[in-house]
């Protein structure tokens, strides 16, 4: 609210006061209160104040201006002051971005918009901030940008405008980074690893791509889906966003098809994905439509696995023997066996012109590999017994609530009829047959592949590299804080996830290609967040970093001996950003 001059008629004349109007939350109506009393007009007249009403009207207006200025200074800063602590650990990201030479193209893409800021500087600083101190866009502008070494002033409104702009065509930016990356490293697309995840929004009602669906975090908020594709070196290759209420299964086909088109890939690509992406339609698309291959896992407990196939999993006889793989101490790590046969698949398909639904039936010759891991078996058996014990505690029908039982509901059997088929009061008991079956197959995993010439151990090792894509999601969600998402517009949301993806991409390039897996992405993040300095005011800095372990690892691979020096000159700090060459030339 604001100040105003109140002129009150009293017996002695007009009495002047400065009042403040405000909103009464309890009574839900505007109220006012006296802030300052000036006195009666006739008593205020003097040589200096010939017209008290005009004088104090100006006085009150001046107070309103001072108040507005004070409130503006308390809001989010638009101009930056010199911070005490300065982040310099992002010199690795800065050097990599500089060497990839994406600035010219990004500036060209943004030239049509006539922005009053550099989109490249905004994108670069958002990447640095996402790795160093992930938070909302508002807090990033006010609390992180000012602490970046050689930061460029960018306002909150400019960040939102810039994110919306890059989010509109986020695939172009991925293509640009892949093109520049390809100048130094050749992409290995013989194998590609694919998986999907989703991110929640703390909102009540769905809108645009934010739709309610099965959440990875088991939340009930609207979500948005993300498909991620890695190359054979496990460096991120592509990302695609999709509405949270859509199935993830079609996106492996769309993403790989788009990847091949954008990067003109004509050879055979083997798709590697877990059982969530394994369906007849995706197998048909891989081997019949795209002439590709696949390595999928297959659910042992699914309805699509016949009893004959289940029997083969654990059976050992002549010509059907497991091969044991042990460590150097003779401890069993895992066992493998395989078979080759022709398997039939079918899936429904709708004619886009007539709308008629038909069933496509096809056969494919594939190799099936079953693995047994004793450590996994021990873990799964413990989980099965824990769920069975929990299910045993529920003895009344009223307690049969899915949200209470969770996954252990599968071990409960409800009998509504007696042996003669007569309806009876529901009888609840533990499904001992189901418990026994799950215990029998604990530790087993089934993989299917179109690559008949691949050795079972090679298939096993290739499939188990999928853990890297799960780790990528964990990095994005836990370390880069990609969720919850605090922006609302669809384009701005896509811009946010593009920043998260490019942050992950640069971290993986540093980890896998530049530092040859000698420093993990986690160590790189810890190092960058910890490497800070304080200006001494004389052109030199004090190094206040504390994570000596991460510092030593980065120092060993970069050869920068002064990373742990207490005193750093301006020239030394500048040298980190200007002369740290990372990419092979």
98-127 tens-digit pLDDT: 999 999 999 999 998 889 899 999 999 999
Q: How many other β-carbons are positioned within 10 Å of the β-carbon of residue 256? A: 25
Question: Rounded to the nearest 10 degrees, how much is the dihedral formed by the CA atoms of 123, 124, 130, 135?
Answer: -60
Return the sign of the alpha-carbon dihedral for residues 300, 306, 307, 313.
Answer: negative
Instruction: Report the DSSP pairing between strands 270-273 and 236-243.
Output: unpaired
Q: Strands 567-569 and 332-350, how do they pair?
A: unpaired
Pairing of strands 270-273, 191-200: parallel
In whole angstroms, what is the distance from residue 321 CA to residue 549 CA?
Answer: 47
CB atoms within 10 A of CB 25: 7
Q: How many Cβ atoms sit within 10 Å of the Cβ of residue 354?
A: 8
What is the Cα–Cα distance from 4 to 19, expressed in whole angstroms?
5
Alpha helix ranges (H) inside 198-328: 250-263, 280-284, 307-314
Residues across the chain: 585
Q: How many other β-carbons are positioned within 10 Å of the β-carbon of residue 530?
A: 18
What are the structural domains, with CATH classification, of the chain?
3-74 (no CATH), 85-168+515-578 (no CATH), 172-373+444-485 (3.90.350), 377-440 (no CATH)
According to DSSP, the residues that pair with 350 across neighbouring strands are 357
**Both structure tokens of 123:** 């994108």
pLDDT at 213: 76
For position 79, what pLDDT does the model report? 45
Phi, psi for residue 46 in degrees, rounded to 5: -155, 180
Q: Looking at residue 456, what is its pLDDT?
A: 92
Chain centroid to CA 137: how far?
A: 15
pTM of the predicted protein model: 0.77
> How many CB atoms sit inside 10 A of residue 113's CB?
11
Task: Name the phi and psi angles at 207, rounded to 5.
Answer: -160, 150
Whole-number pLDDT of residue 77: 47
Q: Which residues contact 211 (CB under 8 A, 6 or more apart)?
A: 222, 223, 224, 243, 244, 245, 246
Q: What is the DSSP letter of 81?
A: P
pLDDT < 70: residue spans in the chain = 1, 25-28, 72-83, 204-205, 216-217, 302, 352, 394-406, 417-421, 424-426, 584-585
Q: What is the Cα–Cα distance from 337 to 188, expressed in whole angstroms?
A: 28
Q: What is the pLDDT of residue 489?
A: 86
Question: Tell me, what's the pLDDT at 204?
Answer: 67
């Amino acid at each position: 609210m604001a100040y105003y001059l109140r002129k009150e008629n009293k017996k002695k004349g007009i009495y002047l006061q400065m009042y403040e109007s405000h909103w009464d939350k309890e009574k839900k109506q505007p109220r006012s209160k006296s802030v300052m009393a000036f006195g009666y007009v006739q008593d205020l007249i003097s040589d200096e104040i010939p017209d008290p009403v005009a004088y104090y009207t100006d006085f009150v207006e001046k107070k309103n201006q001072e108040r507005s200025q004070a409130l503006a200074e308390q809001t989010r800063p638009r101009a930056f002051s010199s911070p005490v602590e300065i982040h310099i650990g992002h010199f690795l990201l800065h050097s990599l971005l500089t060497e990839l030479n994406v600035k010219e193209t990004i500036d060209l893409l943004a030239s049509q918009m006539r922005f009053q800021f550099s989109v490249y500087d905004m994108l670069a600083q958002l990447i640095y901030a996402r790795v160093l101190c992930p938070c909302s866009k508002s807090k990033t502008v006010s609390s992180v940008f000012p602490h970046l070494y050689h930061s460029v002033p960018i306002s909150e409104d400019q960040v939102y405008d810039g994110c919306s702009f890059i989010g509109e065509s986020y695939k172009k930016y991925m293509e640009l980074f892949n093109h520049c990356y390809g100048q130094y490293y050749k992409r290995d697309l013989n194998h590609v690893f694919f998986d999907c995840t989703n991110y929640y929004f703390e909102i009540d009602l769905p809108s645009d791509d934010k739709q309610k669906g099965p959440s990875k975090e088991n939340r009930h908020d609207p979500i948005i889906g993300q498909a991620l594709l890695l190359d054979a070196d496990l460096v991120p290759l592509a990302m695609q966003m999709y509405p949270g209420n859509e199935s993830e299964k079609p996106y492996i086909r769309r993403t790989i098809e788009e990847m091949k088109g954008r990067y003109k890939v004509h050879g055979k690509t083997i798709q590697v994905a877990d059982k969530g992406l394994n369906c007849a339609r995706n197998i048909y698309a891989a081997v019949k439509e795209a002439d590709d291959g696949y390595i999928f896992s297959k659910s042992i407990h699914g309805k699509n696995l016949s009893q004959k196939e289940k029997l083969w999993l654990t059976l050992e006889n002549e010509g059907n023997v497991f091969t044991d793989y042990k460590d150097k101490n003779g401890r069993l790590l895992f066992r493998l066996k395989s078979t080759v046969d022709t398997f039939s698949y079918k899936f429904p398909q709708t004619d886009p012109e007539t709308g008629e639904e038909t069933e496509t039936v096809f056969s494919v010759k594939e190799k099936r590999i079953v693995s047994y891991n004793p450590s996994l078996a021990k873990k799964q058996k413990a989980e099965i017994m824990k769920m069975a014990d929990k299910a045993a505690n529920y003895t009344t029908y009223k307690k049969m609530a899915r949200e209470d039982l969770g996954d252990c509901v599968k071990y409960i059997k409800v009998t509504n009829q007696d042996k003669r088929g007569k309806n009876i009061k529901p009888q609840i008991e533990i499904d001992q047959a189901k418990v026994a079956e799950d215990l029998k197959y604990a530790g087993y995993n089934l993989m299917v592949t179109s690559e008949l010439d691949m050795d079972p151990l090679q298939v096993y090792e290739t499939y188990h590299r999928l853990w890297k894509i799960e780790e990528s999601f964990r990095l994005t969600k836990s370390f880069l804080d990609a969720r919850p998402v605090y922006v609302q517009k669809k384009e701005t949301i896509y811009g946010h996830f593009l920043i998260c993806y490019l942050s992950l991409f640069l971290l993986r390039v540093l980890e896998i290609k530049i530092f040859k897996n000698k420093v993990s992405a986690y160590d790189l993040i810890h190092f960058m967040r910890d490497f800070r300095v304080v200006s001494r005011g004389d052109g030199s800095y004090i190094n206040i970093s504390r994570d000596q372990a991460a510092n030593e690892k980065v120092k060993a691979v970069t050869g920068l001996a002064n990373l742990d020096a207490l005193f750093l000159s301006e020239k030394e700090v500048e040298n980190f950003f200007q002369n740290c060459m990372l990419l092979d030339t």
